[in-house]
Every structure is written in C-alpha cells, then in structure tokens.
Structure 1
C-alpha cells in the first residue's frame, strides 16, 4: 500500500493508525483462537456414536496433534519470506492456509481430509505467531507496544471463547463456513494496513519508511525515531558482516551473540510452562477434565468450557491494564506462583478423590484460576517479549526457532497427556503434580534471567540482555 509523505501527518501526533494496524493484525489472532477453540466441542461431536464422521480415540489424538505439527513446520517458511516480502505480506499469506482448511472441513467426507485441514490450520497458526508479534512490535510505539501485544492475546482468547460457545450449538459444517467468512474478512481488512517501517529500512526504502512512520505516528516530525531505527539496523549489519556471510552468518550471529542467545532461552522457558505447566492441557482437554471432576450435577461440561473461555478473555483484558503499570517481571512472578498452586490442588483432588469429593467445585475454580493466572502473566508476557527481545536483523530467525520449539513442545505435551491418563491409566493426578513443579521451577529461572522491558526502546532492551 503506497503512502505519501505528510498526507496523514499532524504536528501533535495521533495513535489512530497504530491502533488500526494492531487491531487489524489481531483479527488473524481471533481466527487462530477460533481454530484452537474448535478442538474441544468438535472432539465430542467427532467421537459421538451418531457422528457422520465418527473417529476413534487414536484418530482424534492424531487430529489434535496435527495443528501442533503444522505450527512447528511453519517457522522455516516464515523465516524465508518475512525479510523478503515483508511482515504485512507474510501475515496475509498466513491467513490463506487457515481459510483453505475451513473449506476442507466444510466439504470433508473422510478422516484424511480433516487431517489436512488441521495441519493447514497449524501452518497458519505458526506463521501468525511469528509474524503478528513481529509486525506489532515494530509498528507500535514504545508506549503502546505492551498494550498492542496484549490485544493479540485478547483477540486469540476471544476467538476461543466464541468457539467454545458456538461450537456445541452448530454443526461442524456450519461452523466451518462461519470461520471461512471470518478469515476472508481478515484478508480484506489487513490488506489496507501499512508495512513495518523497520522492514522498509532494511530494504533501503527510506522515503517510504519515513512516510509510513509519519502515518502510523500521526505527526510530521519522525526524524529522531527514524534515526534510532537506522542506527539499530546499521549496528546489527556490522555485527552480521563481522561474523561472515549469508544465512550461516546470520545463524551464527543469533546463536553466538549473547543477547540473541539469551532471548532464545527466555522464550523457550516460557514455552515449557505453557505446554508442561497445565495451561494447554486445560485448553485441549478441558471438557474431559471438567467431566472427570464430577461436577455434572452443578454445571455441564459445555457451560464449564464457556466459563473457561470467559476467564481467559477477562484475564487478558486485565493484563492489558497492568502490563505497562506493573511491568513484565511482577506479572511473571504472580502468574507462576498461582499457576503452580492451582496445579497442586487439582493433582491432590484427583489423587485422593474420596477425601476431596466434597470440594469438586473448588477443583473447578482451581482450574479456572490456573487459566486466569497463565493469561495474566506467563502467556501474555511471552508474546510481548517475543516482539521486544530479538533485534530486527535476527528477529525472523529467532522467532522461527522459538516457534518451532513451541510447536514441538505442543506436540509432545498433547500426546503425552493422553498417554499418561489413558494408555498408562495413571489418571490426571501425576500430570498435574508435574505441572506444579514445572511452574514453580521455571518461574524462578525466568525471574533470574529475564530483563524488565517496560518503557524501554528496542535498542535499550538489546543493551540490557
């Protein structure tokens, strides 16, 4: 999208285009959230006796893991294109597999077609996680960067809530057509948004970068910020040139440069808590866990899932108010402490069912508090740090590596949970005991090595690593 210099500028400045660009980008995260939320209600329908597409437990387990495999394989594609065609075009490309996947689900007449559809959804999810945070981190100003990144998580959770609520009420085919329409709406809206000024400067498109920066900042004088970006890019290019040439050089810069390597470890530790700290188990298998709590006389599985979605939405909205006031590290500490405690209570409930039988409602509340705590810290802060910790020159490769790692952990966690609970017949208790240990130990490590990034420019953050 071409932008004329000065056309959208005013001396006092405006945040309108920052909000518009971040909001339009977040529509893709809503679509991804709806795709993730599809798993819980659809798993019940696909295994029902009267389902026209009935699946076995083994087939369902494979279906659930394919979205993670797609997510794991997406980052290499992202790293190849995001610095060549730009952040904006990469995000647009990321919406296409998701839309095609919904077409397949709407017209599917067999299990293999569903497998392909969910793999494509995972591909879009992986691209979105890489490119959306990168785009928002480079378009939003330092004052709004934290809130803009929280908006991505807010829309992701809103998409899951809608899926939890509408999924049981609609047929799988009708649900697929609705999601296809949403994906098409995203492609139409985001095509009108500006490109990242960081990318434009990386491609030596200086006049266009200045015009875009004027537009998204809403003011005529962006010289200081433009010079800061150029200085950052020049420094990184010198580092890259001093290390050799080509992709191997860039990989060496990422893996041997202390700030970049530290960023990989930090983001990787967050991923460990997500997939082995209880959160993804509740998201993927929540309806079954709620059923096994024995709360049917109080609340239906469907109602519990909808409440779960509401809790996620409210917690992310609350985080948007706290993230720039409290900073990142206090949220990490609070989130890790609460999550571990909730996991321990749920583990004890399943370990001693007779003794804890009168406390089934408290166990449900513990699961909901677990989701709340994750969304208030460990989950949202990771998204913010992905956009903040990596320098622009290595961001594409860095985000690629951490997203692949997240996809691998997602696959392992999804399969391992059902293996422990069903195949090995250990039930829910051992996993939740392990989740508690993971939450507490990894949170301690994160507090030790993670820098506070609140109110800092991207260059200042690099110096603090």
Structure 2
C-alpha cells in the first residue's frame, strides 16, 4: 500500500471490525512530521551553540584596542577571560531546577520558548556593553537560556518521537549546537564586535517564530487530562487520523495517569533501583562529556591555534574545526538507530583519548623541544583536533542527551533532567574556569588530563551503560528495573 493512502475513520473501523491496531498498520506513520517538530525545537540548540562558540572569536577582539568596546584590554589567559568563558556554565547549572518544574506546569513547548527571552536580553547587554561587568552579566544570562534549552528540549524531543526514530531525533541536538558554533566561528573573525552581536540575536528570534507553530508534547497534554489535545498533537506528529493514533494516545494516557498517581520527588530517584541506575548512566555520560574537555576546545579554539603557531591562520583553522563538527554530527542521526548507543560511545571515548594525547604531545614538544623538533610536528594540532571533534560529535556529544531523554519514567523525568543538566554545567564551569590557569603552566597538562578521563569514560560505558536501541520508553524502564520480558 502507498505511504500516502488514507481511510476515513468510519471506513477504517468497518474494514477492521472496530479493531484499531490493524488500522494503524494500514495507515503508516509520517516520520517527517516528528523530524520537522524536532528540527524546529532544535533551532533553540542552534542559538545555544552560538553562545558556546561566542568566546572563540570574541576573546581576540577584547585583546585588541581597535576592536574592544571596553576601556581595558582582556588577555585570553587572564582571570577575566576565565570568568567570561565559565559564567555561562554558572547560569546553566542554576536554571534547570526552574525549567524542570516549569516544563510540568506550563508545558515543554512554552518552557523551551522561554529561553528566547534570556538569549535576547543577553545580546542586548552585549550590544550596550560599557564594562567587563556587563559582559559577565550577559554571559550569566546566556547560561540561563542554555539551562532552559538543555532541560526542556530533550524532554520534548524524546516525547514526540516514535521508538524507531528517538535515537535519530535525540541526536539532532548536537548537530544544531555545532551548527551554531560554526556560525559564530565563520562570521566572528571577519566582522566587528557589534556586528557579531546583531548576527547572534537573530537566532533565538527565528527559533521562537518557527517553534511557536509546533505542537506541545502529547505526554504533557495527557498529564493534564486533555485527551482531545493529546490526539490532535499525535495526529500532527504522526500524520495520521484520530482513529489511527487512538491506541497510542490511550497508552500515553495510561502512562501519565500512573505517573500522576505516583508523582515522584528527588528522593524517589534515589530510593528506586531503576531510577538510581538511570541517574548513574545519565549523569555519568554527561559528566564524561564535560570532562573530555570539549568546552575548552570550543571556547578557546582560535586561541589554541594561535598558541600552536602552526602557520595556519587561527580563524581559518577554527572554521575548519567547526565545519568538521557539523559534518560529523550529521552522521549520528543516520547511524545511531542502526548501530546502537553503546558501541558508538565506546569508539568515541577511545579515539577521543588518542586525539587529546596527541594534542598534548604537540604542546609538550613545543615547550620543551628545540626548533627542529617543533618543525617536525607542526602538522599535528589540526588533525588531532579534527579526529577528536569527529568522534566527539558522533558519540559523546549527542548521545548523552539522547539517552537522558529516554531513560527516566514520567513521574521523575523533569526532576532528573534538572539534576543531570546541572551536573553538566557544574563540571563545565570548573573545566572552563581553571583551563586558563593550566594553559599558563602548559596546555599539554590539560589535554593529557582530558585524555586520561576519556579512557575512564570508555570503561564506564563498557560496564555501566545499557543499550536502548529499538526499545520503547516502557521497555527501557522494565530493563532498568530488572523485569524480564
């Protein structure tokens, strides 16, 4: 039967004798609908990416008298630079505890839309900046927006997706984040400080306009007992009629009724064995994501290439890295539901360690070797970073967030998402804040440390992370709680 075939509700129920399950098989799911909604939601991730990549082109400008809007120059190794890079993490670790409960109260959609307010205010501050304190405030407020996106977006995308698409839609977040990073990498070095702020403020506004027309999560509607709205949302997301989505709507309603009857608290995450296991897996993956040193690379890539003195223009080398991120991140949605989460994460952790150790070796030779030794390895930083970026963007970049979106039951999902998102940014803050101090001593120390932690991440995935490929949300819960099929 053609994928475009459709029956009226009455005709279909007559054809199937009133049984809706054969009807669902006769009226196939339009997967493009859920990808369209996930795409719209991830425009917020594109805006988030522009915030993460912002410091790479901006820090060199703040160190040039002709570029900076400030009265003083800021060196990339100064304490001010450390605060500018890391304050976004401070904001992002606080707001998940607001965004999580808000997602249950006003919905995933409007919580995600709320991030626009923070991003716009932050860039207005950057446009009117007079002193370093205003940059600090702007970066902190950017972090508020980042926290909202990283809490609400995985919840929304995980709940709108069918079982066979959830890995792919959940992986889109990383693709859009690195797309936003490439956006500022490509524009930032070639425009003024002010022009870059205008280029960035457009992104959250575009997201708000596009995502406004997408449906709310059917799980949220079900949690409020709005059965007709649940069905309408599913009709849009599945491209099917009301009769075709009826069985799925009833299943979602049953899940949410059970969740409401056993409304969870933070204590329940630790009391329940399945929830504890989910927390260990999700928080562990997010922790190693940050401890891989990715934010150091993203926030300081232009400075890293400048210090490496490879002969390549630092801005151009950074754009190359950004382009590689986008290409590599586009691979994961294609392969994740075929290969599974765990094999990709294992490859990612092991190869990241190789790239980081090689990068550390270059900086070690640069500091302690003679000129002939350095000349022999001038080629090394760019391929080492590119290898690192490729495997990060196919594994530890997107998959921890995809796993988070599917790992927790509905009654504790918002609380757990808040905890995990905050874990991400607590570690992100410490890594980005202390990197300039390590860089001043010798960047090779930092990169070797990150490489060692990637080796630890490999064994964490090997022994603790379970595979969720092809499993429904309920089957994942059964597996976490040790229930046999």
The normalised TM-score by structure 2 is 0.88
Counterpart position of 2:18: none
Out of 307, 328, 337, which is 2:350 matched to?
A: 337
Please say if residues 37 and 159 of structure 1, whose CA atoms lie closer than 8 Å, have aligned partners that are also in contact.
yes
Consecutive unaligned residues of structure 1, counting only runs of 5 or more, are 241-248
Please say if residues 332 and 447 of structure 1, whose CA atoms lie closer than 8 Å, have aligned partners that are also in contact.
no
Counterpart position of 2:385: 367
Cα distance between partner residues in 2 of 1:380 and 1:330 = 14
Please say if residues 173 and 398 of structure 2, whose CA atoms lie closer than 8 Å, have aligned partners that are also in contact.
no
Counterpart position of 2:315: 302
Cα distance between partner residues in 1 of 2:286 and 2:398 = 11
Q: 1:347: Cα distance to partner?
A: 1.9
Q: 1:362: Cα distance to partner?
A: 2.1
Matched, 1:346 2:359: yes
Cα distance between partner residues in 2 of 1:175 and 1:96 = 19
Matched, 1:387 2:387: no
- Comparing 345-354 and 197-206, the one that deviates more: 345-354
Q: Matched residue of 1:361: which SS? A: coil
Counterpart position of 1:280: 295
Mapping of 1:242-321 within 5 angstroms? 250-296=265-311, 299-321=312-334
Counterpart position of 1:214: 235
Q: Matched residue of 1:349: which SS? A: helix
Cα distance between partner residues in 2 of 1:22 and 1:285 = 30
Mapping of 1:416-427 within 5 angstroms? 416-422=434-440, 425=441, 427=442
Please say if residues 362 and 380 of structure 2, whose CA atoms lie closer than 8 Å, have aligned partners that are also in contact.
no
Cα distance between partner residues in 2 of 1:176 and 1:345 = 35
Mapping of 1:148-297 within 5 angstroms? 148-220=169-241, 221-240=244-263, 250-296=265-311
Counterpart position of 2:105: 84
Please say if residues 82 and 434 of structure 2, whose CA atoms lie closer than 8 Å, have aligned partners that are also in contact.
no
Counterpart position of 2:89: 68
Counterpart position of 2:451: 436
Q: 1:150: Cα distance to partner?
A: 1.8
Q: 1:165: Cα distance to partner?
A: 0.5
Cα distance between partner residues in 2 of 1:199 and 1:314 = 34
Cα distance between partner residues in 1 of 2:458 and 2:251 = 33
Q: 1:55: Cα distance to partner?
A: 4.0
Counterpart position of 2:52: 36
How has the CA–CA distance of structure 1 residues 330 and 356 changed in structure 2, closer, same or farther, with 3 Å as cutoff?
farther
Q: Matched residue of 2:104: which SS? A: coil
Cα distance between partner residues in 1 of 2:150 and 2:436 = 26
Q: 1:227: Cα distance to partner?
A: 2.9
Consecutive unaligned residues of structure 2, counting only runs of 5 or more, are 1-7, 10-23, 481-485
Cα distance between partner residues in 1 of 2:452 and 2:248 = 44
Cα distance between partner residues in 1 of 2:375 and 2:430 = 31
**Which protein shows a greater Rg?**
2
Cα distance between partner residues in 1 of 2:233 and 2:291 = 41
How has the CA–CA distance of structure 1 residues 403 and 55 changed in structure 2, closer, same or farther, with 3 Å as cutoff?
farther
How has the CA–CA distance of structure 1 residues 435 and 458 changed in structure 2, closer, same or farther, with 3 Å as cutoff?
same
Q: 1:238: Cα distance to partner?
A: 4.5
Cα distance between partner residues in 1 of 2:314 and 2:392 = 21
Cα distance between partner residues in 2 of 1:228 and 1:360 = 59
Q: Aligned-residue CA RMSD in angstroms?
A: 1.8
Please say if residues 60 and 303 of structure 2, whose CA atoms lie closer than 8 Å, have aligned partners that are also in contact.
no
Out of 382, 407, 410, which is 2:425 matched to?
A: 407
Q: Per-residue CA shift, 1:248-305, capped at 9, x if unaligned? A: x511211221222222222222233222223222111112221222202xx1100110
Counterpart position of 1:23: 39
Cα distance between partner residues in 2 of 1:14 and 1:141 = 10
Q: 1:187: Cα distance to partner?
A: 1.1
Please say if residues 96 and 421 of structure 2, whose CA atoms lie closer than 8 Å, have aligned partners that are also in contact.
yes
Please say if residues 343 and 436 of structure 1, whose CA atoms lie closer than 8 Å, have aligned partners that are also in contact.
yes
Out of 123, 126, 133, which is 2:144 matched to?
A: 123
Q: 1:52: Cα distance to partner?
A: 3.1
Please say if residues 178 and 322 of structure 2, whose CA atoms lie closer than 8 Å, have aligned partners that are also in contact.
yes
Q: Matched residue of 1:192: which SS? A: coil
The normalised TM-score by structure 1 is 0.92
Please say if residues 279 and 370 of structure 1, whose CA atoms lie closer than 8 Å, have aligned partners that are also in contact.
no
Cα distance between partner residues in 1 of 2:164 and 2:181 = 28
Query: How many residue pairs get matched?
Result: 446
